[in-house]
Amino acid sequence: MPSPNFNQRPATAALSLLVIHNISLPPGEFGGTHICDFFTNCLDADAHPYFREIVDLRVSAHLLIRRDGDVVQFVSFHDRAWHAGQSCFDGAENCNDFSLGIELEGSDDKPYTDQQYRCLAALVRVLLAHYPGLSKQRIVGHSDIAPGRKTDPGPCFDWRRLSAALEA
């Protein structure tokens, strides 16, 4: 599902970071088309009061993993999705330039599903195999690159579970 919210990476930016996010629209609610509508600039501002606050934002991610494990791709891995915002990792600013963004349909305070963990681990294995600049040590949460501004994927995300699944 193509999103218009991307552009080309700088020629000097090598893909070297994977950022895990969460999103639910409306906040705390799962299912429906609102996330896809948001990432494709088709969100109906009148469908929920919260949407009036975000309808003019232009954001996207490379991938969304729904609660049932289905995956939606919005931006090519070769392009820069607008997912990280103001961010810094290992002294490098503007993480969108050198990262991939994966959104999990979820929230900071609700556990993620088994299907999401299985799908995320499978996707990460493929990405690690195809992009030599990525590594297990360079998989972070949005909160790691935008501390104080972002909290996702939140305390309910099981980093040990993802790590163990990548070792299997």
Domains observed in the chain = 6-22+60-167 (3.40.80.10)
Residue 168 has pLDDT above 90, yes or no: no
d(CA 17, CA 97): 10
Q: Which of 69, 47, 68, 62 is nearest to 119 (CA)?
A: 69
Residue 52's SS3 state is helix
d(CA 126, CA 47): 37
Say if residues 4 and 86 touch (Cβ distance below 8 Å): no
Q: Active-site residue numbers?
A: 103
Please confirm whether the linkage preceding 26 is cis (ω < 30° from 0). yes
Say if residues 21 and 55 touch (Cβ distance below 8 Å): no
pTM to 2 decimal places: 0.96
Residues in the chain: 168
Residue 2 has pLDDT above 90, yes or no: yes
Give the model confidence (pLDDT) of 79-106 as tens digits: 999 999 999 999 999 999 999 999 999 9
Q: Which of 75, 101, 73, 104 is nearest to 87 (CA)?
A: 101
Predicted local distance difference test score (pLDDT) of residue 42: 98
Mean pLDDT of the chain: 97
Say if residues 16 and 133 touch (Cβ distance below 8 Å): yes
- pLDDT (mean) for 154-168: 95
Buried b (16+ CB within 10 A) or exposed e, 87-99: bebeeeebbbbbb
